[in-house]
Amino acid sequence: MKKSIYYLGIACANLMLFGSLFKIQHWPGASVMLVLAVFLFCFVFLPMALINSYNEGGQKYKALHAVTFFVFFISMMGVIFKVQHWPGAGMFLPFGITLPFILFLPVYLYQTRNEKNKETMNFSAIMFGLTFLAVFSVLLALNVSKSIILKIGTSLRMSSEASAFNMATINVTDKQNPILEESDKLCVYIEGLKDHLLIASDNTVDGKASLDITQMANMENSNIPVHILLGDDSNNKMEELKSKINSYRESVLASEKISPELSELSSTIFDVSDKDTEDGKMTWEQRTFGAYQLIVVLDALTQIQSNVRLVESELLAVK
């Protein structure tokens, strides 16, 4: 009986481990292992081990055994719902993380309050276990799923598509308009920055920069963008970019045929000044590039290009 409990427990922990590893590596079979691990734990290991512990001299702690089962059953179920994105994960996990604190801990303390022997070690073990759980849960709460990066990719793609649309449909009546050249200059400059970033981050095909979201490497890297845009040998690229956007905005606003609405829009979307926010003063680059992850920087740069193309197209459409 006891031996099989040991085997089961170790099997559960290992299934969980390999399931997680497979999941992180996107190898097939991860879900099966994770689901199996949790179901084995919840429906076989936990009841068996608790019954064994109860018969082993735990009769005094009836409530503790019941509560342990309930709490860790819910908790582990919450985990599997969350990992598998099953409906109800949002409900399950908060309860799974809070129950050990609001139910298990009080019952444990209450039931063992008169237990003088060997209490220190067990008490500290439980304390550290739960502290660990709290710390990791909080860290987890500060995080979002990595799949969000793909959504930034979507946003980037839509910006490029919008640029392409505006360039294709632009109706040039006034070929002499200086905005045409200005827009091209700014967009080409930004394109150069993007290529620089992509090459530095190993995103190349046949030696040329390639922006393919599905194949992208180093998406979360922030060292490369910081080095290129802000580093000592970056020749002040960020300031250069800002001054280019600034002068572009000035020439758009100085344009003769600009409507008041368009001038309002241009001053908003090409505003590179510092701003006061709830978190204190924030510079344009802080607002725009955040923590400088590669994908975020590329998205922001593409968005500027798209904005330029939009304003250009709107400006030239005015008869």
Partner 1 sequence: MLDTTQIQLIESDVESARITLYNLSDELVDHICCAIEDQMRNGKSFDEAYALLKEQTGIKVLQSIQENTLYLTDKKYRLMKTTMKITGNVALALLGMGTVMKIFHWPGAGPALVLGFALLCLFFFPAVVYINHREGKSKGGPIMNFSILVGGVGLMAGILFKVMHWPGASMLLLGGWFFILFIFLPTLLYAKLKDAKSGFEKRVYVLGVVALIIFELATMFKMMHWPGAGPLMILGSLLLVAVFLPLYTNMRFKNVELKTGQFIYLITISMYAVVLTALLAMNVSKDILGCFVRSQDNGTAINHYFEQKERILAASNTVKDSVVMMNAEKIKHVSEETAKVKNEIQNLKLNLVQEIEQVDKQTALAAISESVKISKKDNYDIIDHILFDQNGNGLANSLKGKLDTYRELILKLTTSNKELSESISRILDTSSKKNYNTMVSWEEDNFKHNPLISTLALLTALEKNVSMVESSTIQYINQ
Q: Which residues pair with 280 in a beta bridge?
A: 277
Is 281 a binding residue for partner 1 by CB under 8 A? The answer is: no
- Site size for partner 1, by CB under 8 A? 117
**Shortest distance in whole angstroms from residue 235 CB to partner 1:** 25
Select from 47, 18, 48, 49 the least CA-distant residue to 35: 18
Is 211 a binding residue for partner 1 by CB under 8 A? The answer is: no
The span from the CA of 17 to the CA of 192, in Å, is: 44
Is the CB of 11 or the CB of 199 nearer to partner 1? 11
- Stretch of residues binding partner 1 (CB under 8 A), selected from 112-120, 176-184, 198-206, 227-235: 112-120
Is the CB of 121 or the CB of 206 nearer to partner 1? 121
Is 4:54 a contact under the CB 8 Å cutoff?
no
The span from the CA of 113 to the CA of 119, in Å, is: 9
**Shortest distance in whole angstroms from residue 38 CB to partner 1:** 8
Is 29 a binding residue for partner 1 by CB under 8 A? The answer is: no
Residues 122-141 that bind partner 1 (CB under 8 A): 122-127, 129-141
Residue 147 in tokens: 């799949």
- Cα-Cα-Cα-Cα dihedral of 215, 221, 222, 224, to 10°? -80
Residues 285-314 that bind partner 1 (CB under 8 A): 287-288, 290-291, 293, 296, 299-300, 303, 307, 310, 314
Residues 132-191 that bind partner 1 (CB under 8 A): 132-149, 151-152, 154-155, 158-159, 161-162, 164-166, 168-169, 171
Q: Which residues contact 79 (CB under 8 A, 6 or more apart)?
A: 38, 93, 96
Select from 102, 107, 80 the least CA-distant residue to 92: 80
Is 303:171 a contact under the CB 8 Å cutoff?
no
Residues 30-59 that bind partner 1 (CB under 8 A): 37, 41, 45-46, 49-50, 52-53, 56, 58
**Shortest distance in whole angstroms from residue 204 CB to partner 1:** 20
**Shortest distance in whole angstroms from residue 156 CB to partner 1:** 9
Select from 18, 16, 40, 39 the least CA-distant residue to 27: 18
Residues 68-97 that bind partner 1 (CB under 8 A): 68, 72, 76, 79, 82-83, 85, 87-90, 93-94, 97
Is 277 a binding residue for partner 1 by CB under 8 A? The answer is: yes
Alpha helix (H) residue ranges in 201-277: 223-230, 237-254, 260-269
**Site map (CB under 8 A) of partner 1, residues 237-256, x = contact:** --------------------
Q: Which residues contact 67 (CB under 8 A, 6 or more apart)?
A: 103, 104, 107, 108
**Number of C-beta neighbours around residue 247 at 10 A:** 14
Is the CB of 208 or the CB of 268 nearer to partner 1? 268
